[in-house]
Amino acid sequence: MRTPQSATRTVAVVAVPLLLAAVIAGPVAASAAVATAPVTGPAAPGASFTTGGQLSGVAAISATSAWAVGATPSGKTLIVHWNGTKWTQQASPSPSSAKFGNDLSAVTATSASNAWAVGYASTRTSTSTLILRWNGKNWSRVPSPSGAGSNTLSGVFAVSDRNAWAVGGGLILHWNGTAWKRVTSPAGGILHGVTATSAGNAWAVGTTGKVTHLTTLVEHWNGRAWKRSASPSPNDLNGDSLRRVAAVSARAAWAVGCSFSCASGGLGDGLILRWNGTTWTASRSPQASYFAGVAATSASNAWAVGALGTLPVSKTVIAHWNGASWTRVPSPSPPQSGLADVAAISASDAWAVGSAGTTHPKTLILRWNGKAWK
């Protein structure tokens, strides 16, 4: 995610193995991570908003306006808004009446009257892409193309009211101000995240290859077409996957995900790649089982979030980039917790979202105040 917009997921982060399985498998694995029983799980200390379910994406346009999206335990879409004082849940469409039928994975915003949220709506026999739009008054569904694959959108990013991108599975969709249209993806892999700095500079990331030989996938938009960009895969024989991408200029971008054992939904090592304007290289990063979200406000201020450990002792991980290196920053970790996305407004203001608990997950929201995450 690049401030003030965000691009984010189809997966629940309450269970680390389920998160990684959903990255590869799509809505079926994602749905399995959201429980239907009444919410009785552990509370999330430090959270400014807590309800049953999980949050997968966050976007912030100012200190008084932010959005977070996900799904409820019953499989309905979940959207909450920050008004500068508190988070409140907003009414949002849930087209499918099926159990675990609706999920929002990512959100992006350009102004108080223009925001997008993406995910999927599924039945027992089919899954369709789901795109919701905020017009300043309410959220409504907007028609969107679906393909022959999973039709699960997991990333979205808006450059302006007339220019936005959404990705998921093998789909790349573009908003031209009037309608969402499908755009050809050259690599044929699974895309999870997307970002852009202008109409002529956008990135999409994910994974490609066979389950036993997955490699990172990075694609670049130059204003005319998407083309694959070379990217390192430290442990491709065991499965590498990129989850999110953030950019602040044509010369500075980061992509995060998982390296080693990601193919089967197992635990791996957190993976961070950096773009310097010429090449993508792997960065040394703090220990993590995976990184699921990334955000940046400048070439010397970026955040990566995820989780470390296996259930029932998984805990949140937050790492900070200062222009030279990544360093882990202390973060609240309720029992069985993980973070799915992060949004940064400035060096002293950022949000991270995810969930805590397994059988009865609850939403988790953390905020950076310039000195600590709370």
DSSP 78-146: EEEEE-SS-EEEE-------STT-EEEEEEEEEETTEEEEEEEEE-SS-EEEEEEEE-SS-EEE-----
Model pLDDT for residues 177-186, shown as the tens digit of each residue? 999 999 999 9
Lowest-confidence segment of 108-122, 205-219, 331-345 by average pLDDT = 205-219
Distance, in Å, from the CA atom of 81 to the CA atom of 102, rounded to the nearest integer, reads 19
Where do the H-state alpha helices sit in the chain? 16-25, 27-32
* DSSP at 373: B
Lowest-confidence segment of 43-52, 90-99, 240-249 by average pLDDT = 43-52
Identify the CA nearest to 164 among candidates 130, 208, 122, 131: 131
| pLDDT category of residue 121 using cuts at 50, 70 and 90 | very high
| pLDDT category of residue 258 using cuts at 50, 70 and 90 | very high
Tell me the three state secondary structure of residue 17.
helix
Position 238 scores a pLDDT of: 66
5 in any annotated domain = no
226 in any annotated domain = yes
Starting at the earlier edge strand, list the strands of the sheet with 127-134.
102-111, 114-122, 127-134, 139-141
- CA 182, distance to chain mean position in Å, is 21
324 in any annotated domain = yes
pTM for the full predicted model: 0.88
Would you say residue 363 has pLDDT above 90?
Answer: yes
Q: For the domain that residue 116 is a member of, what is the CATH number?
A: 2.120.10.70
Whether the Cβ atoms of residue 323 and residue 25 lie closer than 8 Å to each other: no
The token pair that represents 31 in the structure block: 């749905």
**Which conformational region is residue 342 in: left (phi greater than 0), alpha (psi within -120 to 50 degrees), or beta?**
beta
306 in any annotated domain = yes
Number of domains present in the structure of the chain: 1
Lowest-confidence segment of 104-118, 128-142, 303-317, 323-337 by average pLDDT = 303-317
Tell me the three state secondary structure of residue 198.
strand
1 in any annotated domain = no
**Distance from the first to the final alpha carbon of the chain:** 21
Residue with tokens 């990512």: 106
Q: If residue 166 lies in a helix (H) or strand (E), which one and from where to where?
A: strand 163-168
7 in any annotated domain = no
Position 237 scores a pLDDT of: 65
Lowest-confidence segment of 3-7, 45-49, 193-197, 320-324 by average pLDDT = 3-7
Peptide bond into 4 cis (omega under 30): yes
9 in any annotated domain = no
Residue with tokens 């990217």: 231
Kindly give, in sequence order, each residue whose CB lies less than 8 Å from that of residue 106, ignoring residues fewer than 6 positions away.
6, 7, 8, 9, 56, 57, 69, 117, 118, 119, 153, 154, 155, 156, 166, 193, 341
Distance, in Å, from the CA atom of 41 to the CA atom of 331, rounded to the nearest integer, reads 20
Q: Note down the domain range covering 288.
A: 16-368
330 in any annotated domain = yes
Helix, strand and coil content of the chain, in percent to the nearest 5, comes to 5, 50, 45
